[in-house]
Amino acid sequence: MVLSRIFKSIFPGLYPEVPDRTLEDIWKLKEIDYWKGEGERPRYETEIIGIPTAIVNDHQQALSYWHKYGLEDAVMLRVDAHPDMAEGARYLHCFDFSTADILNVINFTIPAVHHRMVSSIYWFNPHSKKLQDLGTARSEEGRRRLETIIKPAYEKGWHIPKYFWSCSTWEEHEDLINGEGKIITPKDFLKPQSSPFLLDIDLDAFSCCAMRTISSEYLIGLDSGEIRYDLRVNLTLKLLEQLPKPDFMTISTSTGLGLTERYVDPRKVQKVMICLGDGLERIYKNK
């Protein structure tokens, strides 16, 4: 404790101030389980400021909630350290929670576009401070057109139908998979009145401990991309203040059950969730 106070006095900026609140105060949750045994992924449904919210562990679990919420032609803002726009997911005949074992954390978006749960995708990466327009399945002018096709792909001796992006050029195809969209400002964010607004958040946007797709030029001071999560939460809140209030929210803790695909240190999840939730309450309580 003494050493901790000494380091805080020397490097005050490296120690975020966590609001003096609990998960139960904000998210109506007593705790978030990080581990429930092999093959069992914890998930929760709650709400914050009247916004229906699903909290999942592995990000691909969010797809089942988008289906459950009945999303159709939604405009999605993804807040994430990664674009999660890979293709090659197996064709889905249902969208229950068993799909989490068929999909993975980078290819679950394309089924949502193909089945028109999501039509428009914007991506904000707080590590890079970039807001990007990744495209739309509608006909707005001046935007990348998101189109998908189903075609067989060879896997383990079989040809299995899978989702792929249909792009006019190879360069556009690679840019889409890599999340290289048009860099925009909040005033360029388009949400038709008839479309629901989905806010999809991965906590690795704020505190990413592994497999980062960001370079050191984006890191803040002595931050490793993990420590100063409060700075990235605040950057996100400043953006959200300029956008409509979401109709639905999905949040991925991305702890990977402590084994695989772990992007967020489980020891930081509660602090990040409290910091994020406190800020969301602040900006949405009067919207």
Domain that holds residue 65: 16-284
The 10s digit of each residue's pLDDT in 116-131 is: 999 999 999 998 899 9
Residue 75 inside a domain? The answer is yes
**43-48 and 182-183 strand pairing:** unpaired
Length, in residues, of the chain: 287
Residue 161 inside a domain? The answer is yes
State mean pLDDT over 240-244.
Answer: 97
pLDDT at 267 over 70: yes
The 10s digit of each residue's pLDDT in 8-41 is: 454 455 556 667 888 888 998 877 766 554 555 6
% of the chain exceeding 70 in pLDDT: 82
Q: Quick one: pLDDT at residue 209?
A: 74
Least confident of 18-32, 157-171, 187-201, 202-216: 202-216
Report the 10 Å Cβ neighbour count for 44: 16
DSSP 8-state assignment for residue 164: E
Residue 4 inside a domain? The answer is no
Q: Quick one: pLDDT at residue 20?
A: 82
Residue 223 inside a domain? The answer is yes
Could you tell me if 146 and 173 are in contact, meaning their C-beta atoms sit under 8 angstroms apart?
no
For 68, list phi and psi in degrees, rounded to 5: -65, -40
Q: Rounded distance, CA 216 to CA 229, Å?
A: 16
Question: What confidence category does residue 1 fall into, taking pLDDT thresholds of 50, 70 and 90?
Answer: very low
Q: Quick one: pLDDT at residue 6?
A: 47
Residue 11 inside a domain? The answer is no
Residue 3 inside a domain? The answer is no
pLDDT at 138 over 50: yes
Query: Considering its fold, how many domains does the chain have in total?
Result: 1
Q: Which residue spans within the chain are E strands per DSSP?
A: 43-48, 51-56, 74-79, 118-125, 130-136, 148-155, 158-165, 182-183, 197-202, 248-252
Provide CB contacts within 8 A for 96, sequence distance 6+: 64
State mean pLDDT over 236-255.
Answer: 96
Residue 246 inside a domain? The answer is yes
pTM: 0.87
- Rounded to 10°, the helix 266-284/229-240 angle is 30
Residue 102 inside a domain? The answer is yes
The 10s digit of each residue's pLDDT in 76-116 is: 999 999 999 999 999 999 898 777 778 988 999 999 999 99
Helix, strand counts (H, E) of the chain: 7, 10
Could you tell me if 280 and 124 are in contact, meaning their C-beta atoms sit under 8 angstroms apart?
no
